[in-house]
Amino acid sequence: MKHDMSIEALLAQMTLAEKAGQMAQAEKNSVTPTDVRDYALGSVLSGGGGNPTPNTAGDWRSMTSAFNEAALESRLKIPLIYGADCVHGHNNVRGATVFPHQIGLGATRDPLLIERIGAATAREMLATGVHWNFGPCLAVPQDYRWGRTYEGFGGEPALVGQLGAAYIRGQQAEGAASCMKHFVGDGGAEYGKRPHLSWAQFWEQNGGMWSIDHGDVNVDEATFRAIHLAPYYDALRAGALTVMASFNSWRGLKMHAHRYLLTDVLKNEMGFTGFIVSDWMGISQLSPDYYTCVVQSINAGLDMVMVPYDFKGFINNLVRAVEHGDVPISRVDDAVRRILSVKQRLGLFDQPNPGAHLLDSVGGEDHRALAREAVQKSAVLLKNEGAALPLRRDIPCIRMAGSAADDIGLQCGGWTIEWQGKTGAITIGTTLRSALRNALPESITLDYQPDATFDHYKAPVGVVVIAEKPYAEGCGDVSDLTITAADLDLIQKTRAACERLVLVIYSGRPLIITEALPLCDAIVAAWLPGSQGDGLADVLLGEVPFEGKLPQDWIASMEQLPASVRISSGQAPLYPFGYGL
C-alpha cells in the first residue's frame, strides 16, 4: 500500500469529516475536482448519460483523470474509486462495444462467454479511468411488465447466479470492481403497488409509469430467499467486491433501511466483506427529513451513499449524527474500513489511475468480434416452418421492413449513451440491414421499405424487424406487452408481399405475439443485441446455427403475469423456459 500505511493506521489519522467524505459518492455534474480534494470524497460516478463533451474514450479519460488526480491532492492522498453503469459494455461511451443486454446473455447459457464479456467491459472501463461497474444485475424478474426485466439474466435463480458469478470473475480478473445489484428482491415487486415517494415528481417527469420499479415484494422469507437471495451466494463465491442496495421494499420496509438484510444476512450470515453502496438518491425515500434518512441508512448497514447532488449535505448530516450519538463511530469506521479495503484490493493505492494503455481497446476489433459471437448465441429461434430460415442465397429478392432493421439505437435499447437510450445512430455499430446487405451476394436485391410500402410482386421471403422503444428503469414499466397495432400492420403488409415471412423481435422481455404468430413462418427473439447486428445476420443466413435458449418463459397472454399466477393456474406459456429451436 502506498506510503507504507495500513488501513488501520490511515483510519486512525482521519477526521470524522474525512471519514464522512469517503462515504460520499457524488455525480460528476454536481462536483468539481477541487471538491474531491477539499472534502476527501471517496467516489465520483457518471450516471446514465453522465458523459463528457465530446463523448469519446479519450475525453472520458481526461474527465475521470481530473477527479482521480484531485483525490491524490487531499490531505491523506486516498485514491478515488470512479463508478459508472457499464451494464452491457461501457455503454455510455460513444464508439464503445455494446454487448447484448443481460436477458440476451442469459439466452446464451454460456458462462465462459459471459466471463469474457465481463473482462472486455472491464478493459474498456479502465481505459477511460472508470474502476467500478454498477453490475451485474442479479434480479430474477417475476413480472415482465417491469422496465428492468432486460437487466436480469433470466427467470431461474440458478441461471442468474451462474452467469452473474462468471461476469464478476471476468471483470475483477482485469482489475475492475463489480457490483452485485440490486440487493435484494428487485425482480419481485408487485405490479400496481406504486411507491410512496415524496420526490416522485422527478420520476414522473421522466415519462414513466413506475408501476413496479421501487415497489414492494410481498412474499414469505423462505420464498424470498429461494428466488431473490439465492444468486448472491454464487456471486459472493466469485469474489464480488461491492453490493448496491435496491429501491424496493420487502413487506413494507425499504432496502435502504433494512438492517436485517443488509447487516444480519449479507454481512454477518453470508460473510460479505466488501462495501454496500446506495442507489441513486435511494436513502431519500426513507423519510421527508434528510437527517433521519442518513441515520437510518447508515445504521442499517450502508457504507457509501450515492448522494448524488448534495454531497455536502450528506457529510454535514453524518458528522452531526455521530456527534449527537445517533450513529455510532464504530459503524462509520466499519464503513470506511470496507471502502479502503476495496480500494486496496483493486491496487488503487499503488496505481490510482490504471488503464491508459488500454485506450485502443475501446470499441476495438477483438471486442466487437466477441459482441458478434454473443449476438449469435443469444438469438432464440422460436418458430421455423417451411424452411423459412436460413435465408437462401439463390433467390432474386428479399423484402425487409421495420425502421428497427436499420436503427442502432433500437438495437441497443436503454442504458446506451443516455440513461433512457435513444433511437437513431447514437453510437458506432452495424445494423441488421447493413449486415445483411454486406453478407448477401450482389445478385440479391434487398428491398428495404421501413413502412412496408412494397409493390405487388411477391418476393420469395420477407423479413420484418419490430422493436420496443428504448427505456430504462421504471420508465419502462407498462401495463400491456402486446405488440403494437402499428407493428401488427407492418407484419400484415409484408406478409402480403412475400411467400415466407421471418419476424425478428428486438425487446427487453417476452412480448405477446399471439396475433402475429399465424402470419409468420419464422420468429426470432433477438432481445436487445447491441452494436453488432452482424451477429444476427450470421444466424439468419445460416453461417452459424441458432443456439439460444429462452432465459424466461415466453408468455401467451397478459393473464400469465406475474410468474406465480401462471404457475399456480397450470397454464402453459407460449414457449417454456429453455425452449429454442
Looking at the annotation, which residues are catalytic? 279, 473
Measure the CA angle with vertex 247, ends 242 and 249; round to 5°: 110
Amino acid (1-letter code) at residue 99: F
Cell numbers representing residue 104 in the block: 440476451
Whose cell is 477527479? That residue is 67
Contact 318, 292 (CB under 8 A): no
With 0-12 / 13-18 / 19 or more C-beta atoms within 10 angstroms meaning exposed / middle / buried, residue 309 is middle
- What stretches of 346-383 show up as alpha helix (H) in DSSP? 365-378
Within a 10 A sphere around the Cβ of 233, how many other Cβ atoms? 14
Alpha carbons 181 and 152: distance in angstroms, whole number: 10
Q: What share of the chain is helix, strand, coil (3-state, %, to 5)?
A: 40, 15, 45
Q: Give, in order, the Cα–Cα distances in Å from 75 to each of 13, 15, 41, 78, 279.
A: 10, 11, 11, 8, 28
Task: Show Cβ contacts of residue 103 under 8 Å, excluding neighbours closer than 6 positions.
Answer: 149, 150, 151, 152, 153, 154, 508, 509, 527, 528, 551, 552
Query: What whole-number distance in Å separates Cα of residue 341 and Cα of residue 566?
Result: 45
Give the E-state strand segments of 324-410 in sequence order. Answer: 380-384, 397-401
Q: Provide φ and ψ at 387, rounded to 5°.
A: 50, 40
